[in-house]
């Protein structure tokens, strides 16, 4: 908690020509942007302040990729399970081969929690990047690619509609 104390939480003041002010903030009292002299955004780790337009754009793009990656990991785990289910192997060997799924799930959860922390920045562009990344990832990995791999991957019951009219 001591890291947060010395950060400039910002009052929006400062040089009007500067992209942003301060060493980075982790939350705001409402949605805003870091540009125009507002407080700079601290991207997940101490020292990763988005204090220039290039860094800000890079972190927005990275945020989009992280959200897209959440859906990619979901698809990857489903593909890996389908691959294993097609193999003729002993129960013990099947269990050993499924251990990497735990690592993939852990990475999935890590990305998901980092995205939650980024939402808590209360930044318009970060929130938009997260929503777009998840939406594009869902489109690619839950709608488009299952057509390509339709013989290998079935619909994930945790995604989409489970109503009888749509399950055919």
Query: What is the overall mean pLDDT for the chain?
Result: 76
Pairwise CA distance, residues 85 & 4, whole Å = 48
Judged against a pLDDT cut of 60, whether residue 148 lies above it is answered with yes
Which residues neighbour 99 within 8 Å (Cβ) at sequence distance 6 or greater?
none
**More reliable by pLDDT, 48 or 26:** 48
Percent of the chain past pLDDT 70, that is, above it, reads: 68
Output the pTM of the full model: 0.71
User: How many CB atoms are located within 10 Å of the residue 48 CB?
Assistant: 13
Which residues neighbour 88 within 8 Å (Cβ) at sequence distance 6 or greater?
none
Q: Which two tokens stand for residue 87?
A: 């193999």
- Cβ distance 30 to 38 under 8 Å? no
- Cβ distance 123 to 102 under 8 Å? no
Pairwise CA distance, residues 149 & 142, whole Å = 11
List beta partners, residue 50. 41
Pairwise CA distance, residues 104 & 154, whole Å = 19
In tens, the pLDDT along 90-144 reads 777 778 888 888 898 999 999 999 999 999 888 889 999 999 999 999 999 988 8
Per-residue pLDDT, 24: 65
Pairwise CA distance, residues 112 & 64, whole Å = 12
Per-residue pLDDT, 41: 82
- Angle (CA) 160-161-162 rounded to 5° is 125
Give the CA-trace dihedral at 150, 155, 156, 159, to 10 degrees.
Answer: 120
- The full set of domain ranges for the chain reads 2-152
User: How many CB atoms are located within 10 Å of the residue 114 CB?
Assistant: 17
């Amino acid at each position: 908690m001591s890291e947060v104390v010395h950060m400039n939480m910002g009052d929006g003041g400062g040089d009007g020509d500067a992209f942003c002010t301060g060493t980075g903030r982790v939350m705001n009292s409402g949605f805003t942007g870091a540009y125009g002299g507002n407080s700079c955004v601290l991207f997940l780790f101490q020292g990763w302040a988005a204090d220039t337009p290039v860094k800000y754009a890079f972190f927005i793009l990275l945020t989009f990729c992280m959200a897209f990656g959440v859906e990619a990991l979901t698809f990857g785990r489903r593909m890996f399970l389908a691959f294993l289910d097609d193999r003729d192997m002993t129960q013990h060997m099947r269990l050993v081969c499924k251990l990497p799924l735990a690592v993939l799930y852990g990475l999935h959860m890590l990305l998901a929690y980092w995205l939650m922390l980024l939402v808590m920045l209360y930044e318009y562009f970060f929130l938009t990047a997260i929503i777009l990344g998840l939406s594009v990832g869902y489109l690619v990995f839950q709608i488009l690619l299952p057509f390509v791999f339709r013989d290998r991957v079935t619909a994930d019951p945790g995604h989409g509609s489970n109503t009888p009219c749509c399950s055919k």
